[in-house]
Structure 1
Amino acid sequence: MKIALVGYGKMGHMIEQCAKRAGHEVVATIDVYAQDASVKVSENDSGAVARSVKSSGAEGVIEFTHPSSVIENIKAILPLQLPLVVGTTGWNDRYKEIAEYAKSVGGTVMTAGNFSIGVNMFYKIVEEAARIMHDYKDYDVATWEMHHNQKADSPSGTALEIARRIQLSYSEKSEIVTDSFHQRPSQNQLHVSSTRCGNVPGTHKVFFDGTADTIELTHTARSREGFAVGAVESLVKLSSSLKTGKLSKGNLYGWDDLFN
């Protein structure tokens, strides 16, 4: 498959390595700052991004850039009607807007808070644990995550997805709180706390805390490679599913749509 990479930072380089190792061709690496990108574009010039993707002959696109530029990149690329995988997080509040735009131009996006296969299995484990623990009212629940100090958003998309999975069983946890508490939390508040430090690829914990003990679930990423492999596999799967008619153009899809 011919792939264009929009964003050629650390993740972009890792995705390129994984794509080539899997037998794919990276036909363009597009970035604002990376000196070794095959295409340099000006900041906020999403039109140049789209033109570069189109001229590269790419059959699919993977976008890993920055929350400040992801929306305009998506809007510029979608009219090309190429399968698009977006790994940039921090735009959940614009999801409906992008869904409507994708439908209007016939473009297709697959996005996830985290593309790691292990993390997506962790989601399922958290769901099952929450289902089991919900009936034991002595136990409260919270989640915490830690990432490297170059990460631009907080909390991570992964942390918010974990919280959403908890809420499937804990309907009374109607409010997700990501800020510090300056008063006693209410029973309906689910705390999602974040730390940014050093070079940590990503650690996520879920706590079920009771009077007598604590149950702790942890996923720890060793490197970014798991994210990169999952992003490449997602693009291949998205492209194949569109060709076979399993999925339709003009929609936003998530991990469960492709891999369940």
Structure 2
Amino acid sequence: MKTVIVGYGSMGHEIEAVLLGRGHEVICRVDPAGNGDARELSTEILKEAEGVIEFALPGGILDNIRVYSEASVPVVIGTTGWDKLRPQAAEIVRQYGSALLWGNNFSLGANLFFDLVSRAAALINGIEEYDIMVNEYHHKRKKDSPSGTALTIAEKILQNLDRKKSIQTETLNRAIRDDELHVGSVRGGAIPGIHQVTLDSEADSIEIIHTARNRKGFALGAVRGVEWLSGKTGFFSVDDFIRDILPS
């Protein structure tokens, strides 16, 4: 598959290594900071492309999605921080009949973790003695807080645990309410990413933890995602992709 990488930082380099290792060809690297073959995306760059993988900053993402759609090139987007723009993105994809797969975390291991957390939340739905909380740790250069992955975890919990109604991500100068789910964030050092869900009662505590050792897991998931997207049309989430590749 002839691919274009948009965002050629550390993640872009990891994606390139996985693409080449799986027999694909990288025909262009687009990076606004000047680290690739081009600074700006265009339909001309995508003329021979069969797939795109984007891990970049969210500024201008709707413009990028319109370019991908106009060129009829399927795209995997691992960029985070554009949740509120998703309905507009879906409409662009629908108008052009193109294909887009988005996700806050493409790591196959992290998506297995999401499933475990969902099941754990459902299991304690009828056991009121257990409270639940989320903590995440990342390197000091990470620009968003909490992480997109942490917010996905929180959403999974709210979907499966009736007594939690809202997510709190800020410092609380008060006692947390029983219907609030607290998501804590720590930034420092060179931590690739740790996400921890704790189920706690007066009698004991249960912890479910996902630790990313490096970026390879995210890159592999994104590359498998663009392979999966080939020949499809529609606006897909990483959940659609994971459900399709994992045994039921």
TM-score (structure 1 length as normaliser): 0.89
Correspondence for 2:240: 257
What amino acid maps onto 2:109 in structure 1? G
Task: Using the aligned pairs only, state the percent identity.
Answer: 39
Structure 1 residues 128 and 10 mapped into 2: Cα distance closer, same or farther (>3 Å)? same
User: Secondary structure of 1:50's match?
Assistant: coil
Deviation track 1:175-211 (CA, whole Å, cap 9, x = no partner) reads 1111111111122211111112121111000011111
What amino acid maps onto 1:164 in structure 2? E
Correspondence for 2:246: none
Structure 1 residues 78 and 196 mapped into 2: Cα distance closer, same or farther (>3 Å)? farther
What amino acid maps onto 1:18 in structure 2? V
Provide the C-alpha distance between the structure 2 equivalents of 1:34 and 1:15, rounded to a whole number of angstroms.
Answer: 18
Provide the C-alpha distance between the structure 2 equivalents of 1:188 and 1:34, rounded to a whole number of angstroms.
Answer: 47
- On the 8 A contact 1:139/1:210 being kept in 2, the answer is yes
Correspondence for 1:245: none
Provide the C-alpha distance between the structure 2 equivalents of 1:154 and 1:23, rounded to a whole number of angstroms.
Answer: 36
Provide the C-alpha distance between the structure 2 equivalents of 1:153 and 1:173, rounded to a whole number of angstroms.
Answer: 24
* Range that drifts further, 122-131 or 65-74: 65-74
Correspondence for 1:38: 37
Correspondence for 1:188: 179
Correspondence for 1:7: 7
Correspondence for 1:123: 114
Q: How big is the alpha-carbon RMSD for the aligned residues of Structure 1 and Structure 2?
A: 1.5
Q: 1:137 aligns with which of 122, 128, 136?
A: 128
Q: 2:88 aligns with which of 97, 120, 128?
A: 97
Say if 2:169 is the partner of 1:178. Answer: yes
Provide the C-alpha distance between the structure 2 equivalents of 1:34 and 1:205, rounded to a whole number of angstroms.
Answer: 36
User: Secondary structure of 1:164's match?
Assistant: helix
Correspondence for 2:41: 49
Provide the C-alpha distance between the structure 2 equivalents of 1:106 and 1:159, rounded to a whole number of angstroms.
Answer: 31
Correspondence for 2:24: 24
How far has the Cα of 1:147 moved from its partner? 1.4
* Range that drifts further, 217-226 or 141-150: 141-150
How far has the Cα of 1:255 moved from its partner? 2.1
User: Secondary structure of 1:54's match?
Assistant: coil
- On the 8 A contact 2:43/2:71 being kept in 1, the answer is no
What amino acid maps onto 1:19 in structure 2? L
Structure 1 residues 78 and 141 mapped into 2: Cα distance closer, same or farther (>3 Å)? same
Deviation track 1:47-91 (CA, whole Å, cap 9, x = no partner) reads x40235324x11010001112343332233222221110011111
What amino acid maps onto 1:121 in structure 2? L
What amino acid maps onto 1:20 in structure 2? L
User: Secondary structure of 1:217's match?
Assistant: strand
Provide the C-alpha distance between the structure 2 equivalents of 1:67 and 1:195, rounded to a whole number of angstroms.
Answer: 22
Provide the C-alpha distance between the structure 1 equivalents of 2:30 and 2:242, rounded to a whole number of angstroms.
Answer: 28
Provide the C-alpha distance between the structure 2 equivalents of 1:70 and 1:207, rounded to a whole number of angstroms.
Answer: 34
Deviation track 1:69-119 (CA, whole Å, cap 9, x = no partner) reads 433322332222211100111111111121112112222210111111100
Provide the C-alpha distance between the structure 2 equivalents of 1:73 and 1:79, rounded to a whole number of angstroms.
Answer: 10
TM-score (structure 2 length as normaliser): 0.93
Provide the C-alpha distance between the structure 2 equivalents of 1:217 and 1:127, rounded to a whole number of angstroms.
Answer: 11
* Range that drifts further, 192-201 or 137-146: 192-201
Q: 2:61 aligns with which of 63, 70, 73?
A: 70
Provide the C-alpha distance between the structure 1 equivalents of 2:215 and 2:225, rounded to a whole number of angstroms.
Answer: 16
User: Secondary structure of 1:159's match?
Assistant: helix
User: Secondary structure of 2:177's match?
Assistant: coil
Provide the C-alpha distance between the structure 2 equivalents of 1:161 and 1:8, rounded to a whole number of angstroms.
Answer: 25
Structure 1 residues 64 and 10 mapped into 2: Cα distance closer, same or farther (>3 Å)? same
